């Protein structure tokens, strides 16, 4: 089932426009500078709860990716589809014109290659004693990170925070589309992210309720909890 779904998404449900779209979404380097700019603006102009949500999101990513994903990647050692599965399409964002931001690669043709079961040098993986490939496919860090952020935003801001949820799903889907992950990698990453986001947000809220009045009484009076109670 895992392999069949990967084949459908990566090889069958494809089009030139989706190659452009998902190669961009899957390329962290293309949109990271703009995300960083949004974070800076949010920290400068956002209110206390928004800043607390950013802190919780950072903790969530640290828990889900830095701890959970990192441990499982090394413990499981699952190869990526492009390392072992012949016919997998590896789709990458096209090269941006000289001296222009990487996002401008959207105007160039995506680079599509077919490793045919070889181990591309840009994809971490090593050969072990029996000649098979040991990779770092399971689980997906991209899926975990973005689902962790989505869960934090939902807890802090309700339906307004849920706006990020479709973005997290698109990023997760793009990792299958571009040949980087199996669907099961994505599912596991999403579950880790949801748990990491919930744990980080609830823990930070608990600390604030416990110590906020002593440390920042005026803010604690205005924000008795970081996570608003359900109405």
Whether 134 has a pLDDT exceeding 80, the answer reads no
Whether 51 has a pLDDT exceeding 60, the answer reads yes
Q: What is the mean pLDDT of residues 203-223?
A: 92
Tokens of 31: 């949109």
- Percentage of residues of the chain with pLDDT beyond 90: 60
Is the separation of the CB atoms in 33 and 101 below 8 Å? yes
Whether 16 has a pLDDT exceeding 50, the answer reads yes
Give the model confidence (pLDDT) of 75-101 as tens digits: 998 999 988 888 899 999 888 777 777
- Percentage of residues of the chain with pLDDT beyond 70: 91
Q: Give 58-63 contacts, CB < 8 A, sequence gap 24+.
A: 59/200, 59/203, 59/204, 60/148, 60/149, 60/151, 60/152, 60/193, 60/196, 60/197, 60/199, 60/200, 60/201, 61/144, 61/145, 61/148, 61/149, 61/196, 62/200, 63/148, 63/196, 63/199, 63/200
- What's the whole-model pTM score? 0.88
What is residue 39's predicted lDDT score, i.e. its pLDDT? 83
Other Cβ atoms less than 10 A from the Cβ of 145: the count is: 27
Residue 28, C-beta contacts closer than 8 angstroms, at least 6 positions apart? 142
Mean of the per-residue pLDDT values for the chain?
Answer: 87
Is the separation of the CB atoms in 37 and 178 below 8 Å? no
SS3 content of the chain, % helix, strand, coil (to 5): 65, 5, 30
Between strands 125-127 and 133-135, the pairing is antiparallel
Query: Can you give the residue ranges of every domain in the chain?
Result: 2-222
| Residues, the chain | 231
Q: How far is CA 229 from CA 51, 119, 152, 159, in A?
A: 18, 50, 14, 14
DSSP state of 105: G
What is residue 129's predicted lDDT score, i.e. its pLDDT? 44
- First and final C-alpha spacing in the chain: 41
Q: What is the mean pLDDT of residues 45-66?
A: 91
Taken in order 171, 173, 179, 181, is the CA torsion positive or negative?
A: positive
What is residue 117's predicted lDDT score, i.e. its pLDDT? 53
Give the model confidence (pLDDT) of 22-40 as tens digits: 999 998 888 788 788 888 8
């Amino acid at each position: 089932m895992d392999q069949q779904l990967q084949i459908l998404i990566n090889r069958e449900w494809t089009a030139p426009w989706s190659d452009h779209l998902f190669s961009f979404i899957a390329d962290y380097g293309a949109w990271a500078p703009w995300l960083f700019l949004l974070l800076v603006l949010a920290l400068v102009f956002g209110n206390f709860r928004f800043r607390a949500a950013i802190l919780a999101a950072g903790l969530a990513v640290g828990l889900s990716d830095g701890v959970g994903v990192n441990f499982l990647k090394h413990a499981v050692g699952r190869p990526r589809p492009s390392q072992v599965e012949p016919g997998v399409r590896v789709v990458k964002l096209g090269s941006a014109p000289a001296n222009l931001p990487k996002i401008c690669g959207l105007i160039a043709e995506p680079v599509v290659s077919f490793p045919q079961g070889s181990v591309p040098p840009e994809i971490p993986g090593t050969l072990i004693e029996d000649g098979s490939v040991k990779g770092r496919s399971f689980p997906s860090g991209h899926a975990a990170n973005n689902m962790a952020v989505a869960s934090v935003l939902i807890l802090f801001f309700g339906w307004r925070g849920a706006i990020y949820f479709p973005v997290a799903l698109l990023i997760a889907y793009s990792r299958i589309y571009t040949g980087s992950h199996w669907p099961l990698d994505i599912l596991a990453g999403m579950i880790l992210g949801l748990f990491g986001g919930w744990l980080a947000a609830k823990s930070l809220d608990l600390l604030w309720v416990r110590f906020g009045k002593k440390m920042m009484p005026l803010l604690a009076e205005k924000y008795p909890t970081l996570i608003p109670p359900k109405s």
